[in-house]
Structure 1
Amino acid sequence: MGPSGAGKTTLVRNALHQHPSGLHILSEGEEQADVVSLAVPSPATPKGVGLGMLDTLGYQLRRDRSAHIIWQLVKTQFAERQVLFLHLDEAQDFARHNNRGEQHAVISTLKSLMQSPKWPVGLILSGMPDLLDLVNMDPQLARRLRPIEHRPLKTSVDGGMIVAAIRQYAAAAQIAADENLGKPDFVRRLVHAADSCFGILAEMICEAIGEVLLPGDDTLSVKAFVSCFARRSGCPNGLNPFIAENYLTINVRKLLEPEPGPDIPRRPR
């Protein structure tokens, strides 16, 4: 679990790929895999999600079916293809877009997958922190799942890793990394600009490298990050955390926010 931009989806997929057993995630056109992974579709009802799973599996329904029949087909397909794990991304949508009755139906459906006497399937849920509200609705489901929280970046803890990542990305792009990118002040600004989320931070590094490569330059510098944030947010320099003096007061999640200035009194009518 973690906020938007934390890198949850990439983290889960990398963990599966790097598992000692060599877990294989189903790709389009494949018949068999260890893991079926999909984002929770809309509507996030039991029937809608079941249809999304069948579509991911490449199984086409010839006519409309009830949610119960659809999930029986999902279980049969999982058993025939020997699927070991189901990964549902953006799983908080189960709780956000359903009423209480539909939420309980979702919980019962997920539990039935894990408890199937014919072919039980492990469940991996990734999403925003309010996903916990759904899981905690049922003590049995909560007991079967182990929560892992994606902690925010901290300069004091992660600063060395962040600087190393910047240099590695720059080396991969065959450009130099300016020495100022290794200074604590810049790292603190980068962490704040990314809202302490590693996924956003990695995106910014890549986009800043793009700002260097497009004009044909050969050095990644603070200037590239200034341009990168301006392009991402549409904000003026006064709200750019890479150059603003009071950057910690900037809400980096807001887009196209005007630069603060003196209040202009209105002309009386």
Structure 2
Amino acid sequence: MNSKRRPTVVPPEWDDALSDEDYLAELAGRLPEDDRYVLEVLERAKSVYVECGRDIVARKSFGGFVTDMLAKREGRRDDGRIFVVTGESGAGKTTISKRLIAEHPVFAPIKRSFGTIHPSVYYSLMGPATLRFLGLAILEAIGYEITRKLDQGEVWHILPGQLHLRKVMLIHLDETQHLVNLTKADHDREQLRKALKGVMNYEAWPVSFVMSGMPDITKIAKMDEQFERRHIPLALPDLDPADPDERELVIRITKEMCNAAGMDPTGATQSDVPERIAHAARYRYGRVAQTVLAGIQQAAARRSSQLTRNHLAQAYAGRSHARGRPEMNIFLADDFFRLDPGLFLEHEAD
């Protein structure tokens, strides 16, 4: 139930169908030896997740949300709640939301003789979505077989009962900012409000939501007094470069990723390199990890046993318009703070 869509039916002519992992392994095996080495190094580095203070706050907040969600009043659970995780692009919203759910014992799969029960379901909106499409996507994600065309009203009428049947208590909607498009017109806002309340207030089986996305998804919580009253916000702010603890966090991320990759991180953790990493990453947790990973890739490609500022500069140049322009490369420029955070991307003339 945690997949985005139902598995695609294998064409009948494929009599030796491979699993996704087997297929990817076969493709990776075709890489030249040097590229396979880089792939292995990257996979080890990607497996690293460095916890920090925000994880402690998030875990405590989410724990309270789940306890409140399960608490009964006169033998019945209260109506559903909404846990809202917000942050700018690269803040790590999706990762922290998934980890909170995956690590909480309440949402661990339950095996029964008839199959496995998944108390939570995940769906990521991949672009602007209609309310009907969203409902159909959730139905497919929980394994409901759609055999005929359903209109919007039918979809949201069926959904609460199907969630109950499958004992789904929590829906994690990722990239929820795409739903905000449904709140611009009064009619659409009212339809979305009614649809969500129909799931959250279903007397036989109230269902709660985790919504992760850009900061403007808070508009959804403000659509209804009940939503506002029942929602718990978790905002993921940017890193503060003036905070010594957050500088140390950049260093810890760099060290742990390098350790996993089998590299010496010293050259990337001394002097002002941590500040340069944070600046290149727009001061966002997820982007810090991506910036370090890009440097590790450059180091691995050169079979280097250490990560240096030059490797980070090479990665930056390869992903921006700073190639051949060291004065615009955050890892090479002396006065890098004058450069805008993030990648240097020039606007092309029309």
TM-score range, shorter chain: 0.7 to 0.9
Instruction: Give the whole-Å Cα distance in 2 for the aligned partners of 1:146 and 1:34.
Output: 20
Instruction: Give the whole-Å Cα distance in 1 for the aligned partners of 2:250 and 2:290.
Output: 13
Residue 134 of structure 1: aligned partner: 220
Q: Is the 8 A contact 1:194 1:201 kept in 2?
A: yes
Please identify, of 196-205 and 158-167, the stretch whose mean Cα deviation from structure 2 is larger.
Answer: 158-167
Deviation at 1:219, TM superposition (A): 0.7
* 1:10 and 2:95 correspond: yes
Question: Which of 231, 237, 255 is the matching residue for 1:145?
Answer: 231
Deviation at 1:143, TM superposition (A): 1.0
Q: Is the 8 A contact 1:94 1:103 kept in 2?
A: no
- Secondary structure of 1:130's counterpart equals helix
Percent of aligned pairs with the same residue? 26
Q: Is the 8 A contact 1:17 1:24 kept in 2?
A: no
Residue 264 of structure 1: aligned partner: none
Q: What is the TM-score when the length of structure 2 is the normalising length?
A: 0.67
Q: Is the 8 A contact 1:159 1:184 kept in 2?
A: no
Question: Which of 310, 333, 339 is the matching residue for 1:250?
Answer: 339
Question: Which of 238, 241, 252 is the matching residue for 2:330?
Answer: 241
Residue 33 of structure 1: aligned partner: 118
Instruction: Give the whole-Å Cα distance in 2 for the aligned partners of 1:159 and 1:43.
Output: 37
Matched residue type, 2:319: R
Structure 2 gap segments, 5+ residues each: 1-85
Q: Is the 8 A contact 1:154 1:191 kept in 2?
A: no
Instruction: Note the alpha carbon deviations across 1:22-74, whole angstroms, 9 max, x for none.
Output: 5349xxxx863111111125442210101111222232322211112112222
Deviation at 1:153, TM superposition (A): 1.0
Please identify, of 230-239 and 125-134, the stretch whose mean Cα deviation from structure 2 is larger.
Answer: 230-239
Instruction: Note the alpha carbon deviations across 1:188-225, whole angstroms, 9 max, x for none.
Output: 11111111110111111112111111121111111111
Instruction: Give the whole-Å Cα distance in 1 for the aligned partners of 2:338 and 2:130.
Output: 40
Q: 1:146 to 1:247 in 2, by over 3 A?
A: same
Q: Is the 8 A contact 1:16 1:24 kept in 2?
A: no
Q: 1:165 to 1:76 in 2, by over 3 A?
A: same
Structure 1 gap segments, 5+ residues each: 259-269
Question: Which of 214, 229, 232 is the matching residue for 2:319?
Answer: 232
Matched residue type, 1:182: T
Higher relative contact order (CA 8 A, sep 6+): 2
Deviation at 1:154, TM superposition (A): 1.9
Q: 1:125 to 1:239 in 2, by over 3 A?
A: same
Please identify, of 232-241 and 135-144, the stretch whose mean Cα deviation from structure 2 is larger.
Answer: 232-241
Deviation at 1:107, TM superposition (A): 2.1
Matched residue type, 2:294: E
Deviation at 1:176, TM superposition (A): 1.2
Deviation at 1:123, TM superposition (A): 0.9
User: What root-mean-square deviation, in Å, do the aligned CA atoms of Structure 1 and Structure 2 show?
Assistant: 2.1
Q: 1:146 to 1:64 in 2, by over 3 A?
A: same
Instruction: Give the whole-Å Cα distance in 2 for the aligned partners of 1:233 and 1:24.
Output: 43
Instruction: Give the whole-Å Cα distance in 2 for the aligned partners of 1:116 and 1:22.
Output: 20
Deviation at 1:97, TM superposition (A): 5.5
Instruction: Note the alpha carbon deviations across 1:154-201, whole angstroms, 9 max, x for none.
Output: 2323111221221111111111112x4223521111111111110111
- Secondary structure of 1:124's counterpart equals strand
Instruction: Give the whole-Å Cα distance in 2 for the aligned partners of 1:224 and 1:72.
Output: 55
Instruction: Give the whole-Å Cα distance in 1 for the aligned partners of 2:264 and 2:340.
Output: 30
Residue 190 of structure 1: aligned partner: 277
Deviation at 1:106, TM superposition (A): 1.4
* 1:49 and 2:134 correspond: yes
Instruction: Note the alpha carbon deviations across 1:208-244, whole angstroms, 9 max, x for none.
Output: 1111111211111111111111222233322221222
Question: Which of 201, 205, 216 is the matching residue for 2:303?
Answer: 216
**Any residues of structure 2 matched to 1:57-72 within 5 Å, and which?**
57-72=142-157
Matched residue type, 1:130: D
Q: Is the 8 A contact 1:195 1:252 kept in 2?
A: yes
Residue 87 of structure 1: aligned partner: 172
Question: Which of 181, 184, 208 is the matching residue for 2:268?
Answer: 181
Q: What is the TM-score when the length of structure 1 is the normalising length?
A: 0.86
Instruction: Give the whole-Å Cα distance in 2 for the aligned partners of 1:129 and 1:152.
Output: 12
Instruction: Give the whole-Å Cα distance in 2 for the aligned partners of 1:169 and 1:189.
Output: 17
Matched residue type, 1:244: A
